[in-house]
Structure 1
Amino acid sequence: MTIVPPTPGEPRRPDGPRDPGDAWVVADDGTRYWGRFGAAGLLAVDARRGILLQHRVAWSHHGDTWGLPGGARHAGESACDAALRESAEEAGVPAGAVAPRLISVLDVGVWTYSTLVADVVQPFEPVISDPESRELAWVPIDLVDTYPLHPGFASSWPMLRGLLDVRPTLVVDAANVVGSVPDGWWRDRVGATERLFDRLETVTHDGLPAPLFGLPGETWFPEVLVVAEGAARGVADRDGLQVMRAGASGDDAIVAETERLRAAGRPVLVVTADRELRARVQAVGAEVAGVRSVLGAD
């Protein structure tokens, strides 16, 4: 593998000095990949309009094809942050306009390309903001295959398309998780549940490994449902989290909600160390995980 800087006329940052990541990675067989630290792109999904595609200018790598807005990652930059930054630079995607759902990674050994699949939560019109784009367009999902696609996107599109309707849910047994930390939760169950919410914010921001859900891909950003019972039902709502206040048995509420989600085709991961509850939710098709698998060490 060798690293080769771009030549005049090739991609570079439009607003200042070239970033160290703006270079070609050349494999031993001579194949060139853009991005010293890998690359990332955004697959923005609008429920009404389809997905956002970029028509690349003729002089670019695989020019005159359609693909995703994206580009080289910076040193130390996460795939999610890179995809959002690049799509803002290349297509004017506003901050907060999309909500991450999935990261899929193509790894060729010397280089990686990460696709961030994200749902549009604030509709926007894309804007051509650098010389690499001829056109930006919302393309209905059923018509994507009719476009001359960038080879890399063309190869990954069938798999990505199959995941567009997949929406996993993380169901958290709050009483069990809170009870696993000897921090005086028995004196203040509401406060202990709020501390659990703080820890779950990391999940909503960073996502979880795909194997925990039994799904393909690298990382999923699930909807998070916290089931609270007893005194903990007094906990206040928190943005980004759903709270179910169980009227009686928290375990029964978790099983019933898991059954409902599975019947709707939703992948479910239940976080609990309760052996009986684990067996009950597994019987209806859920994955299960312990506290440390999802939230790390205490």
Structure 2
Amino acid sequence: MLLGDGGGFVRCACGNRHWGPHGAAGLLLSDPERGVLLQRRAWWTHHGRTWALPGGAVRRGETPVEAAVREAAEEAAVPPAAVAVTAVSTEEHGTWRYTTVLATVREPVRVRAVSRESAELRWVPPERVADLPLHPDFAAAWPRLRVQLERRLVLVVDAANVVGARPDGWWRDPAAAARRLRDQLAVLGVAEVSGTALRVTADGDWCWRPRVVMVVEGRARGVEPRAPVEVVAAPRDGDSTIVEVTERLRAERPDDHVVVVTADRGLRARVADPATALLGPGTLRTLLDTHTP
């Protein structure tokens, strides 16, 4: 990498030297069958012979997510299309930042060392990661990363309630209004968002890319899904379907952060549970307006 394209050491406000004047990013890629992908750094690199994440400096004009995915491709031959980003954690040092991008594989990935910086690549079960000689910064971050490793943020959206919260003439064509909402949610599901609505945990530096389940009813039942938004048509009333979907999601993955988006008081009471957060349509709309081109 050319030094003018994001490379080079900087001394940040914390007093330490860090790689990358625009910050740095690493990809914490997990495979349910094999564990997490770690890279043993070449002996000549900074903290050589230690284990860490594939990653490196963020280039000018590049987002941390783009940088992490690019570095994983350059160092470990991870195809960008095989990476499904689930969350982003940022560690701020004042004038420098390191971003850990959590992701899962969309398909089986065959990794190989394709960079001089990689001495070895290995899939490691999460419970064995701490047994390795880790890069000091990764060792310090690993306990909190592991807690979130298998978690996902799931938004269950009451489409009728969200659409109905804005008097923009939606009643003339509820299906078209639901499709517009679906398209906005699709962008939210893949964009690098940082709105407060997605900070549903106590860790303020976590940002989540949600799995989105939109429940439609009535004249909007024919709305088709659009990746990554899943559309569930309510066979009867929408509230009962939302309750069923929420209970199923909680049972399938108890550690996930499930958030139901509705202002309906009756529905809120039916889905109330310590494991389920509630979000109002206004907050979601504000987030969508901010992050939709």
TM > 0.5:
yes
Counterpart contact for 2:27–2:72, Cα < 8 Å: yes
- Aligned AA (1:92): A
TM-score, scaled to structure 1: 0.87
Distance 2:56 2:69 in 1: 10
Give the 5 Å matches for 1:194-233: 194-206=179-191, 207=193, 209=195, 212-214=199-201, 216=203, 217-233=205-221
Whether 1:177 and 2:165 are equivalent positions in the alignment is no
1:6 maps to what in 2? Answer: none
2:143 paired residue number:
158
Assess if the C-alpha contact under 8 Å between 1:262 and 1:284 holds in 2: no
Counterpart-to-counterpart distance in 2, 1:215 and 1:169: 17
Which aligned runs of 4 or more in structure 1 are off by greater than 6 angstroms? none
Which ranges in structure 2 are unaligned for 5 or more consecutive residues? none
Percent of matched pairs sharing the same residue? 47
The answer on whether the counterparts of 1:209 and 1:218 sit within 8 Å (CA) in structure 2 is no
Structure 1 residue 190: deviation in Å? 1.5
Structure 1's unaligned 5+ residue stretches are 1-12
What amino acid does structure 1 have at the position aligned with 2:85?
Answer: P
Report the CA distance between 1:208 and its aligned residue.
Answer: 5.7
Partner of 2:244: 256
In the alignment, residue 185 of structure 1 is paired with which amino acid? W
Q: Distance in 2 between matches of 1:28 and 1:192?
A: 48
Distance 1:249 1:284 in 2: 25
Residue 290 (str. 1) matches residue 280 (str. 2): yes
- Bigger mean CA offset, 203-212 vs 184-193: 203-212
AA aligned to 1:244 is: V
Select between 43-52 and 173-182 the one with higher mean Cα deviation. Answer: 173-182
**2: CA distance between counterparts of 1:245 and 1:284?**
26
Contact persistence 2:215–2:242 (CA under 8 A):
yes
Provide closer, same or farther for how the CA distance between residues 283 and 149 of structure 1 changes in structure 2, counting only shifts above 3 A. Answer: closer
* Paired residue type of 1:223: R
TM-score for the superposition, normalised by structure 2: 0.89
Structure 2 matches for 1:1-298, cutoff 5 A? 13=1, 17-27=2-12, 30-206=15-191, 207=193, 209=195, 212-214=199-201, 216=203, 217-264=205-252, 265=254, 266-283=256-273, 285-296=275-286
Q: Is the 8 A contact 2:86 2:209 kept in 1?
A: yes
State the aligned residue count. 283
Residue 102 of structure 1: how far off its partner (Å): 1.1
Could you list the per-position Cα deviations for residues 160-189 of structure 1 after superposition, in whole angstroms to 9, with x for gaps in the alignment? Answer: 111122122100010011112333322222
CA distance in 1, matches of 2:269, 2:159: 17
8 Å contact 2:12–2:93 — kept in the other structure? no
Conservation of the 8 A alpha-carbon contact between 1:213 and 1:268: no
How far off is 1:209 after superposition?
Answer: 4.8
| Whole-Å separation in 1 of the counterparts to 2:15 and 2:97 | 16
Counterpart amino acid of residue 291 in structure 1: P
The 3 A distance-change label for structure 1 pair 269 and 215 is: farther
The RMSD of aligned alpha carbons is 2.1
Name the CA distance, whole Å, in 2 between partners of 1:205 and 1:295: 17
